Chains A and B, each alone.
Chain A
């Protein structure tokens, strides 16, 4: 049996409904439907004349104005907010009946009031209301509608105007407290002549030496630190361990020591305690002083006193001969006082030039702006500016005690960041 014997095409049996059901007749149906549509809407197109379907354009079309691109219509914002929608009347619900003017209700206004209103004479209230309305309208017109917030100066601020009449009910003006200027330093400090863009040799060397000094200081400090570090490194780690424990436990009582103390108790006075407490030896009758002994001692005391007094009188009497040296002493003291007074005065005067510590951070002097000798061009065209005027101005404010030095606030996270791998991503 050989395969692929050409099959017979199944013929359509036209007399059976069953066979017809298997056939696909959608294209015919479509065509017929289309015809019916044409008939419904304006007659069969195939039967129409050419003239009805097409027109000849003889004139050239005018310059094609492009159809305006339809603007993107934004969703129309409802003037009424959605949350208030339930307050609006429902359009679907129709009125049951229209409100009719009730004939029973007549003019509630009394005739004399009606006359007043019709005559045109206004009440005081109305007059006031009108005046106020005018004022408000004027104000609205005068209102400053400049976009920017900056206005040009249009009058003389320091003009000595005649004083306005003092309103007795106005709040008393608060006077500005008189304060000294925060600093006596000039606002704009002129730079060192060596900082010129084409400096003189000596001035430039001076400036370089200043910068050099600053750098030297820094180096010295670094050296000190390095020395210290080296010394630490020299120590052997084993000895370090041993001594570390004993050093760190200075002053801390050991457990055993504490137990001993508790056992001893308060009754017996230990030898150690005796050293601390000052105890006089017990008094005995043998060592009591008699009256004669006491009198003797008194006498001795008096004599010594008299002697001392006599000495003092003598020295006082002889002080005349010491006048010169005394004067010299006094002069020295005065000179010392004056020196101290001068120092205090100088300190007081230089207070105006000092930079005060106004906040947490200390004021750091700005770095000296200097061009190294190979960077010095000497030509204005090739000059690259050194240093920044913004920073300079900020530092000047800090130096003159107008602002305190500030640091940018660090942004820190309240909670640590966690990384989580998605379940779907897990392999």
Chain B
């Protein structure tokens, strides 16, 4: 009649979790193999809400995995490969101990291997998912690429990681995706934008790097094993998306050695060295068709309701285009004491040309004595300024130019000068925050320069717009706004067209077309003003009840502003003090 007595720990959380030892017993693996499998498959332990319930009353700390995850793991075919490997080791040991050379050779040749392709496909069903996980992958691969021989890790992984990272850097250079650089005391942080995804990764400094003992290298090796497979496939897809060969082929594929350094290398090594020099361009798949500039696609139908957004998008696209050609036409030469690979990567991904002394590394394209070099990067305080046709700058100039998206004045970066601080480009100040004066100066310079360029560009643009306005006035019938697609085509063509159109209409209506004065029309400022107005309107529309809350919030904000003002005053006071002190000192002297 009644149901059976309900016993504890038979339902709910207690049946959803499994401890690590239980999982190992179920899968019949060793602990090391289980850990490797979990890392490769991306199965992580979970913390249950109520540990007592899961552990049947006791509160001993254990690692718990979800039962469904372990059941899923049991279907993995790689487990068989682990077991085969165990048997392989056993047989090999036996053959070696019996001094059976033939058997040993034969067994070694038939070492069991496994591939991780299906795991990568299963973990990242689409390419965008894989891109989302690239940060971790890149940091690990770059880190492993710098490990020396004799570390506790197999050489194959180190070499493979290095190769893949070099390929990835080549892709970034070819696609001009690098956006920000930051040099911290821990390492160098890069940020790039690849297919709409922001990627941030760390690269260790070249010198003075220790490999600590308390790190579990076997675990890292498993991570690298998976990440190198992933990065290989991602590289393949990325290369094909910009029509390059994969594995990469250099354009100038001279097989003969050029340097003394290269003479003693095998062909593979020579090729790898040249590739890792990052100084040469890659050969593309479709030869002879890759030089056209890609036109921005216009979507007039969708977003005519929101012209602001379109304007904003255009402004952004122009900014990015400007950034990509930051170092175009400039020729750099790197001195020996400067971190070569980082600088080569940065300079080349913004369109510049680089070289270095040929005894430093393979792949130098032009020597120091080349007359057309515009900048030489030096880090020592005193230089024998031999060449007058070039500027001598410290390496921070390059990084700061990239972060400011414009070429900075070089006076503060001359060798021997005290450098301005290297600010982090990842900091985005909120509205009321205190902005230190150096940063404010940089921001002003950024905006100011853009204003200048805005003026320049819109001198041409304003003429066209003027003519277009005339057109609109005259042709009041609803013509489709062909502004946007027209901007895509060459401006000259458009001028001709519009001139022709206006000429015709002028004849009809006896109006004369005169060149007008250019309107200083800055898009950004206009957008800003619009947002402010909208805000004020919205403020007026707040209902009475919520107005009190809103006022409180604004009050808090105002207080914050006050504090920042105080800080500013303090800073000014300090600076005036400093100035007066320095003046006094000078007077004394």
Contact = CB atoms under 8 A, between A and B. Distances in A.
A49 B215 CA distance: 85
A25 interface: no
Given A200-B423, A385-B209, A153 B186 contact: no
Interface string B47-81: 10000000000000111101011001001000000
Interface in A155-176: 155-158, 174, 176
A408 interface: yes
B107 interface: no
B512 interface: no
A359 B185 contact: no
A312 to B, nearest CB: 37
Contacts of A223: none
A389 B143 contact: yes
Contact of B380 (A188, A381, A391): A381
B204 A389 contact: yes
B237 interface: yes
A386 B185 contact: yes
Given A198-B396, A198-B422, A381-B380, A153 B236 contact: yes
Interface string A166-201: 000000001011010010001110111101111111
Contacts of B75: 174
A148 B157 CA distance: 10
Nearest to B235: A153
A149 B160 CA distance: 11
Given A153-B232, A190-B182, A381-B337, A390 B120 contact: no
B121 A193 contact: no
A96 interface: no
A371 B184 CA distance: 10
Contacts of B229: 153
B212 A176 contact: no
B330 interface: no
Contacts of A389: 139, 143, 186-187, 202, 204
Interface string B169-187: 0000000000000111111
A383 B47 contact: no
Contact of B236 (A156, A186, A200, A201): A156
* Interface secondary structure of A, over-half rule: loop
Contact of A188 (B45, B99, B126, B202): B202
Interface in A259-281: none
A144 B130 CA distance: 28
Interface in A61-101: 77, 81
A349 to B, nearest CB: 17
B220 interface: yes
B189 A149 contact: no
A318 to B, nearest CB: 31
A145 B113 CA distance: 10
A177 B228 contact: no
Size bracket, chain B contacts = 35 or more
A196 B422 CA distance: 7
Nearest to A360: B61
Given A153-B235, A153-B236, A389-B187, A394 B423 contact: no
B423 A406 contact: no
B419 A378 contact: yes
Nearest to B138: A188
Interface in B310-327: none
Nearest to A355: B47
Given A158-B126, A182-B44, A195-B186, A390 B220 contact: yes
Nearest to B35: A403
Contacts of B419: 198, 378-379
A150 B210 CA distance: 27
A311 interface: no
A187 B135 contact: yes
A210 to B, nearest CB: 15
B156 interface: yes
Contacts of A177: 66, 68-69, 72
Contact of A380 (B109, B202, B396): B396
Given A193-B427, A406-B216, A145 B135 contact: no
A155 B229 CA distance: 12
Interface string B255-285: 0000000000000000000000000000000
B438 interface: yes
A130 to B, nearest CB: 25
Contacts of A192: 424
Interface string B400-444: 000000000000000000110111101100000010101100000
B475 interface: no
B219 interface: yes
A384 B139 contact: no
Contact of A152 (B68, B232, B395): B232
A427 to B, nearest CB: 43
B63 to A, nearest CB: 5
A334 interface: no
A47 B86 CA distance: 78
B242 to A, nearest CB: 14
A394 B235 contact: no
Contacts of A191: 182, 184, 186, 189, 424
B423 A383 contact: no
A44 to B, nearest CB: 54
A379 B379 contact: yes
Contacts of A145: 109
Nearest to B122: A176
Nearest to B110: A143
Given A77-B101, A380-B396, A157 B424 contact: no
Interface string A354-367: 00111110000000
Contact of A196 (B127, B204, B237, B424): B424
Contacts of B438: 200
Nearest to A160: B126
A182 B160 CA distance: 28
A101 B126 CA distance: 75
A343 interface: no
Contacts of B143: 389-390, 393
Interface string B230-257: 0011011100100000110000000000
A133 to B, nearest CB: 20
Most buried by A among B47, B229, B338, B438: B47
Nearest to A401: B44
A394 B200 contact: no
Contacts of B201: 188
A392 interface: yes
B91 interface: no
Contact of B208 (A144, A176, A202, A385): A385
A380 B212 contact: no
B24 to A, nearest CB: 15
A391 B186 CA distance: 11
B367 interface: no
Contacts of A156: 233, 236-237, 240
Contacts of B47: 356-358, 401
Contacts of A197: 183-185, 422
Task: Choose among A157, A176, A202 the residue with the greatest number of B CB atoms under 10 Å from its CB.
Answer: A157
A387 interface: yes
B117 interface: yes
Contacts of A390: 143, 211-212, 215, 220
18 contacts: A148-B156, A153-B233, A154-B236, A156-B233, A157-B237, A158-B233, A188-B189, A190-B200, A190-B424, A195-B186, A198-B419, A200-B439, A359-B45, A380-B395, A381-B338, A387-B186, A391-B215, A402-B44
Interface of A: 77, 81, 144-145, 148-158, 174, 176-177, 179, 182, 186-188, 190-193, 195-203, 356-360, 369-371, 378-381, 383-394, 401-404, 406, 408
Given A188-B201, A198-B422, A389-B202, 18 more contacts: A150-B228, A152-B247, A157-B236, A158-B130, A176-B72, A191-B424, A193-B427, A200-B436, A358-B46, A359-B62, A380-B395, A385-B208, A388-B210, A389-B186, A389-B187, A389-B204, A392-B202, A404-B63
